[in-house]
Amino acid sequence: MSKTILVTGGAGFIGSAVVRHLINDTVHTVINLDKLTYAGNLESLTTVSDSDRYSFEKVDICDAEEVKRVFTTHQPDIVMHLAAESHVDRSIDGPGEFIETNVVGTYTLLEQARAYWSQLEGEKKAGFKFHHISTDEVYGDLPHPDEVEPGTELPLFTETTPYAPSSPYSASKASSDQLVRAWLRTYKLPTLVTNCSNNYGPYHFPEKLIPLVILNALAGKPLPVYGKGNQIRDWLFVEDHARALVIVALNGEIGETYNIGGHNEKQNIDVVKTICTILDDVKPKEAKYAEQITYVTDRPGHDMRYAIDASKIQKELGWTPQETFESGIRKTVEWYLNNEAWWKAVLDGSYQGERLGAGN
């Protein structure tokens, strides 16, 4: 049965992947609600924007009256809440915007969803879901292999790992997670939460590690690596994540949390070197791309290791990632090489990649 799904932040990196998947691979109708900040780009949705199952609303989730209007007009069955400020470096430089969007915005959306849901009846009310999409960064970090005895089994983030956020970004997301759970407990609003590992793939705004490295490499700019580059992340191809999110939105149990990870733990420096190796193969030049690697001062409070235990979503909902890191990173590099018009339009002359650190 076709559902009407409201996707907040649907012009962003992960949100646009969700929208494309819903339009291309399902029968559901999509309402894309996005403020269109610097990281939101409708060019990421040109392949689906002509669909009669897609519509766009330029709305700030902090604007209660506009959010109310969207609920009243479109009568969604499911909310998939992805709208968020997400770059750690920006949160360190200016935390206020992260509190406003990620905390106040989530509160506003929850209140308007509650008001809308409370007046629904019958199957429409019984089937409503509010799916909040979050990050593994709320858990803090995990022991690094360099910090433990050889042969020691390293822990993973599970759905019951205590929260210990390290940055203004992760603290704001932790706060929004807890608001969502409180609205379930107090008001019985049918909510569920997912926490994901680091995403990568096509249409990624070039402030994050992988697109930053690709475009700096092509431009002959330094490839900045924080500290020693030994920080470990669990990498998840964005289209695998989009599939998981839709599965959870449609089939997840109310009140549950599902961790979503790619089973691809990699040190940042190894990610950078892998990209350089692929570029040496597909777009060779006289010098090796790895010669552009530059080590810079580490980020304050930089988490050393993230790693997701995704066994719950695999066991209960049948999701597993389709891409390995090796296949996904090659697809990503080749996509940027083949879509210069997209990223040049996104950058619009304002990109200064040499100022951005290569973290996550």
Q: What is the largest CA-CA distance in the chain?
A: 67
Residue 358 has pLDDT above 80, yes or no: no
Residue 29 has pLDDT above 80, yes or no: yes
Q: Can you read off the two tokens belonging to residue 284?
A: 């060779």
With a CB cutoff of 8 Å and minimum separation 6, the contacts of 29 are: 2, 3, 4, 5, 53, 54
On whether the CB atoms of residues 260 and 254 are closer than 8 A, the answer is: no
Q: What is the pLDDT at residue 39?
A: 85
Q: How confident is the model at residue 284 (pLDDT cuts 50, 70, 90)?
A: very high
Residue 359 has pLDDT above 80, yes or no: no
Tell me the mean pLDDT in the region 170-186. 98
Tell me the mean pLDDT in the region 94-112. 97
Tell me the mean pLDDT in the region 42-68. 97
Marked catalytic residue, from 60, 89, 137, 207: 137
Q: What is the pLDDT at residue 123?
A: 96
Q: What is the pLDDT at residue 5?
A: 98
Active site residue 136: yes
Active site residue 240: no
Residue 100 has pLDDT above 80, yes or no: yes
Q: How confident is the model at residue 150 (pLDDT cuts 50, 70, 90)?
A: confident
39 versus 98: the higher-pLDDT residue is 98
Residue 230 has pLDDT above 90, yes or no: yes
Q: What is the pLDDT at residue 107?
A: 98
Q: Can you read off the two tokens belonging to residue 222?
A: 């330094």
Portion of the chain with pLDDT greater than 70, in percent: 97
Tell me the mean pLDDT in the region 239-256. 98
State the average pLDDT for the chain.
94
Q: How far apart are CA 264 and CA 307, in angstroms?
A: 8
Q: What is the pLDDT at residue 346?
A: 81
Marked catalytic residue, from 169, 200, 203, 258: 169
Q: What is the pLDDT at residue 360?
A: 53
Q: How confident is the model at residue 355 (pLDDT cuts 50, 70, 90)?
A: very low
Q: How confident is the model at residue 8 (pLDDT cuts 50, 70, 90)?
A: very high
Q: What is the pLDDT at residue 354?
A: 42
347 versus 342: the higher-pLDDT residue is 342
The residues pairing with 58 across neighbouring beta strands, listed in sequence order, are 34
Structural domains in the chain plus CATH codes? 4-202+236-262+306-323 (3.40.50.720)
Residue 142 has pLDDT above 50, yes or no: yes
Residue 192 has pLDDT above 60, yes or no: yes
Please identify which residue in the block is written with the tokens 């096509």.
202
CB atoms within 10 A of CB 198: 25
10 Å CB burial of residue 341 (0-12, 13-18, 19+) is exposed
Active site residue 226: no
Marked catalytic residue, from 85, 136, 177, 239: 136
